[in-house]
Amino acid sequence: MPEFPSINVFEFNQLLQGIKADSQQAFGEFYQKYAQRIANMAYAYVGKIGLAEDVLDETMLKIVKIAKKGKYIQKPEAWLVTLVKNYCLNILKKAKKQVLCPDMHIQDNFELAESEMMFYEYFKDLDEKEKLVIVLKISFGYTIKEIANELKMSESSV
């Protein structure tokens, strides 16, 4: 997974203000800057590209709604992680409730590399805090110290 640069709080909120003003350019720039990051986080949680794309779509809709309220986001990275995590958990809950016939199973039209499959197998068995540590490290490029501060944990626990 690629590492992403830290989010500039001022720039992030400027784009949200543009979205509030119905600027297609602001939304396009926001999408270009943050969609891959959101999709990667979602994929880390749900393990399927199709579901990750659903999370991305729902997250972007929610961001537009929040932008319309003029809310200022002080910690965009943590805010995005929380938003994406909540959508992922909702989608996973819904997926567990659905019962499909075996012949209705839809194959994803891609093949995951063996290392990605192994990563997901291990990742899905982690608790929520452990998953969050990995997402912050891999998707956001946080240092161990930054993760410890964000999650109010000791560095050794991280």
The mean pLDDT value of the chain amounts to 79
User: The whole model's pTM is what?
Assistant: 0.62
Q: How far apart are CA 62 and CA 68, in angstroms?
A: 10
CA atoms within 13 A on the CB side of 142: 21
Question: Which helix (H) or strand (E) segment is 60 a member of?
Answer: helix 49-68
Confidence of residue 150 (pLDDT cuts 50, 70, 90): confident
Per residue in 46-81, pLDDT (tens digit) is: 888 888 898 999 999 999 999 999 889 999 988 998
Burial class (CB in 10 A: 0-12, 13-18, 19+), 79: middle
Strands (E) in the chain, as ranges, are none
How many Å apart are CA 51 and CA 64, to the nearest integer? 20
| Helices and strands: H and E segment counts in the chain | 7, 0
